[in-house]
C-alpha cells in the first residue's frame, strides 16, 4: 500500500481546469474558498481558442491561471499523455494539499491519475454522473476519476446511488448541488437576450443548436444525416448554431449553412451564449451542461443522444432524448408547447453549491 500524502500548513488547494464547462463549475468554488485557503489555478489549455477559454476567465471573474500548460488539441492518447506529464510536474513542484477536478474531460482524468500516483488527495466536482455508455470518452473519464477521488461531490441525488453501486464508500460521497447553476443564477441579470440578438444578428424567434459529440459529428455520413434533420427544424423556425471547433469542418462540408434559415456563428463567450439560450424558443444539443442550464431557464431542450448522464433533466420534464428521425416532430411539439416553468428547480440547485463544497473541503483539510 502506498504511503499517505502528508498535508502541511500552507500547502495550497490546486484547481485543474481544461475546458469551458470546467470554468463555469469552478468559479463559485474558487470564490467560496477565497480567504480560507491558498489556491492555485492550473489551466491545461485543453481548450485554447480565446472564445473557448480566456473570455470565460474574464466574464466569470476567475483569477488569472497561475500556469497554463498549453497542451492544445490532439488524439485522446497524445493529449492525455501531455496532460499527465505537465500536471505531474506541477503537482511535484507545488505539493498541493488537495487537487480539485471538474466534470469529465481529459484534463479531469489526467489530473486525478497524476495526483493519485503522487499520493495527493483528489476532490471530484460533478461526481457520480453516468450515461452507462462506455463508447463516450467522457463516461470513461467520469468512472475512473470517481474511483480515484477522496471526495466525490455530487450534483444530483441519483449519482449517490451510482457511486454506491460501484463500491464508493458513502463517507466519500457528498450531495452538494450544482455549481454550474450557481454561476447561472449569479449572472441572470447579465443574460440580456435583446443585446445578444443585436450583437449577433439573431432573429426574433429561433431554435439554438449546439452539436459536438464525436458520435454525431465525426463521421461524414452521420453528420450529413444530422444536418438534413436540422434543415427540417429550420423549416419550422430559424436555427442559430454557434459551431464548436470539433466537427466544424464536417458539419459545414455536409451543407449545414446551405439552408437560408440556418445561422452559423463562431463560438460565443459565456454571457452571450447563455443570453442566446435564454432567448431561444427551444434548444437542440448533445451537450451535457446545456441540458442543466435549460432546466433552470425554462427553455425546452431536445438532446440528440441515445442516453444522458443527467437524467434529472428528463424526470424534471425540461429535456427529451431524441433520435435524428424524431428531431423534427419533437421540435414541432416543443415550439408549440412553449417555455417551461423556470421556478421549479431540482434539489439543491439553489445557487449555494459553491459554499457547500468549500465547507466540505475545509473539513477534509482539517480547517
Catalytic residues: 212
Beta bridge partners of 207: 239, 282
Structure-block grid coordinates of residue 23: 470554468
For helices 106-117 and 76-94, the axis angle rounded to 10 degrees is 50
DSSP annotation string for 45-64: -SS-STTTTHHHHHHTTPPP
Other CB atoms within 10 A of residue 93 CB: 9
What is the secondary structure of 5-38 as a DSSP string? PPP-TTPPEEEEE-SHHHHHHHHHHHHHHTTTS-
Phi and psi angles of residue 14, each rounded to the nearest 5 degrees, phi first: -115, 120
Q: Alpha-carbon distance 120 to 6, whole Å? A: 8
SS3 178: coil
Alpha helices in the chain (DSSP H): 20-33, 54-59, 76-94, 106-117, 137-148, 157-165, 179-186, 193-200, 214-217, 220-234, 248-253, 270-278, 288-297, 312-315, 327-337, 353-364
Q: Which residues contact 248 (CB under 8 A, 6 or more apart)?
A: none
Residue 27 half-sphere exposure, CB side, CA atoms within 13 Å?
22
Length of the chain: 367
Integer CA distances (angstroms), 167 to 12, 156, 162, 173, in order: 29, 18, 9, 11
Amino acid at each position: 500500500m502506498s504511503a499517505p500524502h502528508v498535508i502541511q500548513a500552507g500547502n495550497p488547494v490546486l484547481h485543474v481546469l481544461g475546458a469551458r464547462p470546467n470554468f463555469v463549475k469552478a468559479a463559485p468554488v474558487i470564490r467560496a474558498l477565497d480567504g480560507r485557503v491558498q489556491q492555485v489555478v492550473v489551466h491545461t489549455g485543453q481548450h485554447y481558442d480565446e472564445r473557448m477559454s480566456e473570455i470565460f476567465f474574464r466574464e466569470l471573474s476567475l483569477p488569472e491561471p497561475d500556469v497554463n500548460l498549453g497542451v492544445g488539441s490532439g488524439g485522446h492518447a497524445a493529449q492525455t499523455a501531455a496532460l499527465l506529464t505537465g500536471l505531474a510536474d506541477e503537482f511535484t513542484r507545488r505539493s498541493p494539499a488537495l487537487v480539485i477536478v471538474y466534470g469529465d474531460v481529459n484534463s479531469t482524468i489526467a489530473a486525478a491519475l497524476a495526483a493519485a500516483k503522487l499520493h495527493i488527495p483528489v476532490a471530484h466536482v460533478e461526481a457520480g454522473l453516468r450515461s452507462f455508455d462506455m463508447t463516450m470518452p467522457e463516461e470513461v473519464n467520469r468512472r475512473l476519476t470517481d474511483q480515484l477521488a477522496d471526495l466525490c461531490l455530487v450534483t444530483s441525488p441519483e449519482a449517490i446511488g451510482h457511486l454506491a453501486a460501484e463500491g464508493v464508500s458513502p463517507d466519500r460521497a457528498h450531495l452538494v448541488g450544482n455549481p454550474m447553476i450557481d454561476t447561472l443564477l449569479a449572472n441572470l441579470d447579465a443574460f440580456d437576450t435583446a443585446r445578444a440578438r443585436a450583437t449577433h444578428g439573431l432573429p426574433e424567434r429561433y431554435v439554438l443548436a449546439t452539436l459536438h459529440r464525436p458520435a454525431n459529428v465525426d463521421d461524414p455520413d452521420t453528420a450529413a444525416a444530422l444536418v438534413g434533420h436540422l434543415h427540417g427544424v429550420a423549416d419550422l423556425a430559424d436555427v442559430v448554431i454557434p459551431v464548436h471547433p470539433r466537427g466544424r469542418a464536417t458539419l459545414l462540408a455536409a451543407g449545414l449553412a446551405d439552408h437560408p434559415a440556418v445561422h452559423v456563428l463562431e463560438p460565443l463567450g459565456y454571457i452571450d451564449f447563455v443570453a442566446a439560450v435564454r432567448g431561444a424558443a427551444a434548444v437542440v444539443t448533445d451537450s451535457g451542461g446545456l441540458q442543466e442550464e435549460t432546466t433552470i431557464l425554462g427553455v425546452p431542450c431536445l438532446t440528440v443522444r441515445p442516453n444522458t448522464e443527467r437524467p434529472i433533466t428528463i424526470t424534471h420534464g425540461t429535456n427529451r432524448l431524441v433520435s435524428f428521425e424524431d428531431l423534427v416532430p419533437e421540435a414541432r411539439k416543443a415550439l408549440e408547447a412553449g417555455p417551461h416553468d423556470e421556478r421549479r428547480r431540482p434539489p439543491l440547485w439553489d445557487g449555494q453549491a459553491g459554499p457547500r463544497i468549500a465547507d466540505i473541503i475545509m473539513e477534509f483539510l482539517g480547517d
